[in-house]
A and B are shown apart, each in its own frame.
Chain A
Amino acid sequence: MEWPEAVHRSLGAAGVRVVGYVPDAGHKRLIELCQADKAMRAVVLTTEEEGIGLAAGAWLGGQKSVLLMQSSGVGNIINVLGMVQVCRFPLVMIVTMRGEEGEFNPWQVPMGLATAQVLEAMGMTVSRASDASEVAPLVAAALKGEKAAAVLISQKVIGIKSFQEQRSQ
């Protein structure tokens, strides 16, 4: 089983009903799986910041959610993470990393380098999957903990190949 299938299974097992996302090449398969899942509502966002409000509202209404984004999106959510911290909302973010080894776009590098630090500065627990087999267990653990947690997926797990494929399409 590939990591997106394993993560999708973890989301289902944890009872996740709302999936907010800003598309990313690395999340392509997982987004498709969530869209096809009738038990989940996949919500396309115009900016990652909206996903924090979405997750907070879903939790107020008694539902679990996750947010999918790439590392550049972490820069868009900093202030609103204050609400997550002060209200102690559980929040699970799955973040595909850009700006790491093999990155073809230098403009992705600064936010990629700062991603973990920024999240930690705003009170998030950060874990990192350096291998595909680590992603789903880390996501399952984050959901179980009901805390504010981000799982970062190293760019080498995604591979630079998928980005090059996107470029050539």
Chain B
Amino acid sequence: MKASLHRREVVSALLKERQDLLVVAGLGSTSWDITAAGDSPLSFPTWGAMGQAAMIGLGLALAQPRRRVLVITGDGEMLMGLGSLATIGVQRPANLAIVVIDNERYGETGMQTTHTAHGIDMAAMARGCGFKDSRIVTTRAGVTRLRAAIHGKKGPLFAQVKVVAEKLPLVLPPHDGVVLKDRFREALGAKR
């Protein structure tokens, strides 16, 4: 089935009225997507450390059990850290959601196809790793339901959102890692 959802619309819809949501974004397009939706000190977009977005989300979810944590990352970034699904499945943090924006492409390197373009089902992997709620989202109604689940449902939650493969204008967050880290901790009230 051909994807019809557009990534920027999906991410904007997921982050609409985000309340106290803490957000981590994976290297590449998803960091630009969350910035296009509106930068926040409680967003941590990554410019490197490919494969670690979900684990940063786990560390944050364990440290802040009363806040909701949302990891938004790409299919290529998630594929590089698949073992982290097993690690998260052992810890089962109720406040963590991982959303993979799946365009079936490595978007930053020339739109080469990823494994998901060849039928590899990450939602099934997440289910096998103990994510009781693991879904593939292909419709706007599904995105609306996903946003509600991120805010209200007991996790951990995994979603693979199928989106159109498209090249979009870059919307860049601050790239100074110290700024990104310190603003996040200050906004949370943690000691510098």
Majority secondary structure, B binding face:
helix
Which residue of the partner chain, among A51, A58, A62, A83, contacts B49 with CB atoms under 8 Å? Answer: A83
Contact B180 A87 (CB under 8 A): yes
> What is the bound-complex CA distance between A87 and B47, given in angstroms?
11
Residues of A within 8 A of B50 (CB): 79
Number of A residues contacting the other chain (C-beta, 8 Å)?
A: 32
Q: Whole-angstrom distance between the alpha carbons of A89 and B60 in the complex?
A: 14
The listed residue (B46, B51, B87, B189) touching A43 by CB distance below 8 A is B87
- Of the listed stretches B78-86, B102-110, B114-122, chain A binds B78-86
A17 lies within 8 A of chain B by Cβ:
yes
Please name all residues of chain A whose beta carbon is closer than 8 Å to the beta carbon of B38 when the two chains form the complex.
none
Residues of A within 8 A of B131 (CB): none
Contact of A61 among B51, B62, B81 (CB under 8 A): B62
Task: Evaluate contact between B62 and A56: CB separation under 8 angstroms.
Answer: no
Given contacts A52-B49, A56-B52, contact A18 B178 (CB under 8 A): no
Contact of A86 among B22, B59, B63, B177 (CB under 8 A): B177
Is B188 part of the contact surface with A, judged by Cβ < 8 Å?
Answer: yes
Cross-chain contact A61 with B49 (CB below 8 angstroms): no
Q: Are A61 and B190 in touch, CB under 8 angstroms?
A: yes
Q: Which listed residue, B53, B54, B87, B185, touches A45 by the CB 8 Å rule?
A: B87
A59 beta carbon closer than 8 Å to chain B: yes
Distance between Cα atoms of A80 and B84 in the complex (Å): 14
- Interface pair B56/A60, CB less than 8 Å apart: yes
Specify the chain A residue showing the minimal Cβ separation from B178.
A88
Chain A contacts to B: CB under 8 angstroms:
17-18, 41, 43-47, 49-63, 65, 79-80, 82-83, 86-89
* Interface residues, chain B, with chain A CB atoms under 8 Å away: 22, 24, 44, 46-64, 81, 83-84, 86-87, 90-91, 177-178, 180-181, 184-185, 188-191
11 contacts between A and B (CB under 8 A): A18-B62, A45-B87, A52-B52, A53-B54, A57-B24, A57-B63, A58-B60, A60-B181, A61-B61, A62-B188, A83-B49
